[in-house]
Amino acid sequence: MTANSPHVTEFDPDSDDIQPEGSLQALIARIEGEIRELQLPGFSMDDALNLGLLLVEFGKEGQFPIAIDITKGEQVLFHVALAGATPDNEHWIRAKQRTAARYEVPSLLVGLRARVRGGRIEDHAWFDQSRYAAHGGSFPVYVAGVGAVATVTVSGLPQVQDHDLVVQALREIRRSMKSE
């Protein structure tokens, strides 16, 4: 896994530059497709451990300064900070995780959907930035026929790269579950 997103012409939520027309909608459509694709047959504590360890492997291979968290409700199932991660990553983990859990969609999608309506969700007084962050990196764990049962969150890279790293790990875990 690389930290560079293969989607170089996609919307970049970290950029203030003029973006290619349709790029925001294309990124939203991609994430909505990932939600449909990444439905797991189940999700146990062992699955959480395997997912967390896979993200650790990706992080070490790429020498990414990331923190990783998997939470189910109020229970932390997996949490680690790799070399280079900072205490700020802990704040971002919690804020992105709360966002994905509250809206039951990836934290990146929450922020992107607000941009479609002409702004940033953070610009609304009702959005408490001390508790929530509509930035990429937290993805609900969806169980087919059940819905969102947990969240997996990465912090430390640019937000689309955090998101893509989580998606890559979920794809790998889903593949391994289907082959069992």
pLDDT tens string 54-82 = 999 999 999 999 999 999 999 999 999 99
Tens-digit pLDDT profile for residues 127-142 = 666 777 888 999 999 9
Round to whole Å and give the CA distance between 98 and 75.
13
Does the pLDDT of residue 83 top 80, yes or no? Answer: yes
Tens-digit pLDDT profile for residues 99-121 = 999 999 999 999 898 877 776 66
Tens-digit pLDDT profile for residues 156-172 = 999 999 999 999 999 99
Q: How far is CA 111 from CA 75, 79, 85, 131, in A?
A: 25, 24, 23, 15
138 contacts: CB under 8 Å, gap ≥ 6: 93, 96, 97, 99, 100, 106, 107, 151, 152, 153, 154, 166
Q: Around Cβ 103, how many Cβ atoms within 10 Å?
A: 16
Assess contact for 155 and 54: CB atoms under 8 A: no
pTM (2 d.p.): 0.89
DSSP state of 123: G
